[in-house]
Each structure stands twice: as C-alpha cells, then as structure tokens.
Amino acid sequence: MSDSYSGEVCAVARALIGAVVRHGETAGVIVETEAYHESEPACHAHIGRTPRTLTLFGPPGRAYVYRSYGVHAMLNAVAEPDGIAAAVLIRALQPCDGIELMRARRGRERLEELCSGPGKLTQALGIGLVHNGVDLDAGPVTISLPGGPPPDIVVSRRIGITKAVDLPWRFSVRGSRFVSRGGARVAASVSRSAR
C-alpha cells in the first residue's frame, strides 16, 4: 500500500462537491470536479518537477491555475501533502453571488452558461494565471467547505484528456443543470445504455 497510490485526491475531489468558490463579489457552489495525480499520465506533474508544475508539488490548499489551449484559465486545488503532486480541477459551479458581474464578464444571460465548464467559471469569477499559488484559505480566491449533508454524487470518467481516460475520477452532482457540456453527454449515453 505504501508503494502505490492511496486515492486521497479522489476523496478531496468528492469532498469539494458543494463547497463555495469565492473571488471578490462573485461566488458559486461546486457541482463538478476531477482528480489528477502525479502517478497517472493525464496529470501535468506526471513528467516531474518543472517551473509549470511547481505549485502541484507544493503544500495542499493552494490554487494551481494554468492556461489551456492558449485561451482559458483552469482552476485547481492542490490536494496532497508537500512533495506529492495532485490536484482537483474545479469544472463547474452553480452561481450564487455576483451574478450580474458574471453575466457582464461572460457576455451571456442564462445562469447555466455562466460557470458550466472549467474555462467558463474562471472567466465568470475573474480568475487568471496571476492566482496560481494563492492560499485558498487566505484569498483573494477562496474555497470554503460545505456544511450541509453530502449531495448525491455521480462518478464518471474524466473529460477532454487523451491519457488514462478510463479512471473514474470525475465527480458531479446528480441531475444538476450546472455541470459542464461533457456532463450532458454522459447523462445521454447513460440513459441510452439503460434502455
């Protein structure tokens, strides 16, 4: 057990469902996450320590923010002890505060289009690469854990990756209309296979 991965980051990814991400006057409840760990090739840190992955190897509770496809910023929470690289990708939020500001930043009106994807939510909350490494307890970007009963969580495969595609490391709120595009696809394929 000590020589193989224990699965801690998946527990964190699950625990973060229902948590609140806040930046300034904007905030939302996490409805979708994915886990990444240095032991599997889809994780940026799989290649080892580089300037880019340094945050991933640092202490837990910090933000790892990177640019995807030259266009979008992605928000992660570092999730394993100092020296072990792992993070939880925040993939979708249910908007709760600062909705008008989110609409202005996104150029969209419908609530479902504000934070239903990892690139969308960073745009809606005004999160960028400058927030890489910030302490998520101290801010300016914060994540506060949920207080209520645990929501009904669906486990599925991660989206948009080309390696380790079979790991069931994606977590989302069952039936939420605020999950990302891939969530709808999974729901469709599930109902199709259930026929």
Q: For binding to DNA (CB under 7 A), which residues are involved?
A: 34, 36, 42-45, 47, 50-53, 56, 64, 66-72, 74, 76, 87, 89, 106, 108, 113, 117-120, 129, 158-162, 180-181
Q: Closer CB to DNA, residue 42 or residue 154?
A: 42
Bond preceding residue 140 cis, omega within 30 of 0:
yes
Q: Closer CB to DNA, residue 51 or residue 147?
A: 51
Shortest Å distance, C-beta 140 to DNA: 19
Q: Closer CB to DNA, residue 105 or residue 147?
A: 105
Amino acid at 52: R
Strand partners, 75: 65
Shortest Å distance, C-beta 149 to DNA: 28
88 exposed, middle or buried (CB, 10 Å; 0-12, 13-18, 19+)?
buried
Shortest Å distance, C-beta 147 to DNA: 26
Shortest Å distance, C-beta 150 to DNA: 23
- Residue 23 has a CB neighbour count (10 Å cut-off) of 22
Dihedral of the CA atoms 57, 53, 78, 92 (nearest 10)? -170
The answer to whether 31 touches 94, Cβ cutoff 8 Å, is yes
Q: Closer CB to DNA, residue 82 or residue 110?
A: 110
